[in-house]
Amino acid sequence: MEKILIVEDDIKIADYLKSYIEKYGYEVTIATDFEKIMDTFRSVQPKLLLLDINLPSYDGYYWCRQVRKESICPVIFISARTGEMDQVMALENGGDDFITKPFHPDIVMAKIRSQLRRAYGEYATKFEERMLIQDGLTLYPERLELHFNSNMTQLTKKETDILENLLDRYPRVAGRQDLLEKLWDDQAYVDENTLNVNITRVRKKLQEVGIENAVETVRGAGYRLRITWKEEDE
């Protein structure tokens, strides 16, 4: 059963959408904590997100950008805003479609089905999934997943990019400047400590699949992948 997440602060609209969509066999969750949308998103792992623009604290554009850091699931904006610029902003911030309020539920269902087909079904782009493999450690960049033996952990987009760079460069050093340029478009606004924080997160993700001390800091240069798990077996 495919999961759909609704982020809408008008509870009557949210309940109406949930009730209608569930008639077609989907599992629907309504977000209730508008401070922690990403926590809900990670917990639900939806196949599609219905997202309002006018929300408490942060608007839908903000949350769509956060989702796009971790997922490529379809995002359909539903909003009372009818201006062309609002629709442009929705698409520019990572949305896939836009529905204006008031809406007919059949239109919502048609757009949901269309986006699910495009993303996962008969119209989905066919490609050979990339895998980066090094001595049993397997990274799936499109899935944002890291596998080792029978263990798997989910990654963020930046964690995936760092590991992809380390695997591509192995056994060479991945330079700090190269990583900054790859991960952030405008390095001028990135604190030097930001990369250190993300490297620490990558090390923790490696620990989650059972690998210790695999990312080596090369002073004055950058970082290098070490195949410590192979050394442990020898």
pLDDT digits (tens, 9 = 90+) for 94-119: 899 999 988 999 999 999 999 998 88
Q: Which residues lie closer than 8 Å to 3 by C-beta, 6 or more apart?
A: 26, 27, 28, 29, 44, 45, 46, 47
What pLDDT, on the 0 to 100 scale, is given for residue 234? 47
Q: Which three-class secondary structure string do you get for 200-221?
A: HHHHHHHHHCCCCCCEEEECCC
CATH topology of domain 132-233: Arc Repressor Mutant, subunit A (1.10.10)
- CA gap 165, 153 in Å, rounded: 18
Report domain extents, the chain.
Answer: 3-120, 132-233
pTM of the model: 0.57
Least confident of 1-10, 20-29, 148-157: 148-157
- Give me the mean pLDDT over the 38-44 stretch: 92
pLDDT of residue 202: 95
DSSP strand E in 64-135: where?
75-79, 97-100, 132-134
Please choose, from the candidates 170, 178, 179, the residue with its C-alpha nearest in 3D space to the C-alpha of residue 228: 170
Q: Which sign does the torsion angle of CA 117, 121, 127, 130 carry?
A: positive
Q: Would you call 186 exposed, middle or buried from its count of C-beta atoms within 10 A (0-12, 13-18, 19+)?
A: exposed
Q: The tokens of 6 are what?
A: 């609704």
Q: Which residues pair with 6 in a beta bridge?
A: 30, 50
Q: Give the model confidence (pLDDT) of 51-80 as tens digits.
A: 999 999 899 999 999 998 788 889 999 988
Pairing of strands 222-225, 145-148: unpaired
Q: Which fold has domain 3-120?
A: Rossmann fold (3.40.50)
The confidence band for 122, taking pLDDT boundaries of 50, 70 and 90, is: low
Tell me which residue has tokens 């990274």: 139
